[in-house]
Amino acid sequence: MSELTIDPENTAVLFTDPQVDALKPEGVMWEQVGDLVEEHDVVEKLETIQNAARKGNVPVFYSPHYYDDDEFESWEELNGIDQKMFDTEMYHVDKEGSNIIPELEPDDNTFVLSSHKHLSGFWANDIQAQLTKRGIDTLVVAGMFANLCVESHMRDAIENGFKVIAVTDATAAPGEDFLEAAKTNAEMIAHETAETDDVVGRLSNAGRTASTEPAEE
């Protein structure tokens, strides 16, 4: 598996669901995912990736989930994960659980996409337009949950012609088996799999050239 070039002109970081309900003890999914979020230092790794992207002038995109009262009340024929989210009113747009976590507060380098209503934003939000109109063709993907929104965004990005670096340790899932399965799938599907330590230096140095500033060791 070859190492992709990270260039701020055509590369972006993509975090799926960087929200309280997925990543914080007060979130409705903490009982299912909290142990793995803490064990793998997911919040710290996402923050590290974001800071590296800022340093290298690589844009960061968030693909969040939001639902409102009408959707919770009127949707029918829910699949398994939808049913779990609707039973707990996960990502309710008017509740704290839908907020972006404080560690990942958006800045001028961050673009918050419209809500994805399914697992992949390529079917339900403006991700395709926001990326292609900015000349993005390569994505560094991380976030929540490994076997759900992360994998679905990764698959659809590739099907739509994007190159993908999957950061396999900056994510978690509702159980170790699900997390390991997602990692295995990423190794088969993504153009490159990497861990946080492998990508932060490349992101930090993405905006530099040999003629202006030497790369960090």
State pLDDT tens for residues 150-199. 999 999 999 999 999 999 999 999 999 999 999 999 999 999 999 999 99
DSSP bridge partners of 62? 15, 112
- Any idea what DSSP says for residue 96? G
Question: Looking at residues 13-20, what average pLDDT do you find?
Answer: 98
Domains, the chain: 11-204 (3.40.50.850)
Please tell me the number of Cα atoms within 13 Å of 193 on its side-chain side. 15
Tens digits of per-residue pLDDT, 38-81? 999 999 999 999 999 999 999 999 999 999 999 999 999 999 99
Q: What is the pLDDT of residue 153?
A: 97
Do the Cβ atoms of 63 and 127 come closer than 8 Å?
A: yes
Query: What is the pTM (predicted TM-score) of this model?
Result: 0.93
Asked if pLDDT for residue 5 goes beyond 60, the answer is yes
Do the Cβ atoms of 165 and 194 come closer than 8 Å?
A: yes
Asked if pLDDT for residue 148 goes beyond 50, the answer is yes
Element (H, E) at 71: helix 69-74
Do the Cβ atoms of 214 and 19 come closer than 8 Å?
A: no
Q: What percent of the chain has pLDDT over 90?
A: 92
Q: What is the pLDDT of residue 210?
A: 33
Q: What is the pLDDT of residue 216?
A: 52
**Strands of the 60-63 sheet, one edge to the other:** 110-112, 60-63, 11-16, 138-144, 163-172, 192-194
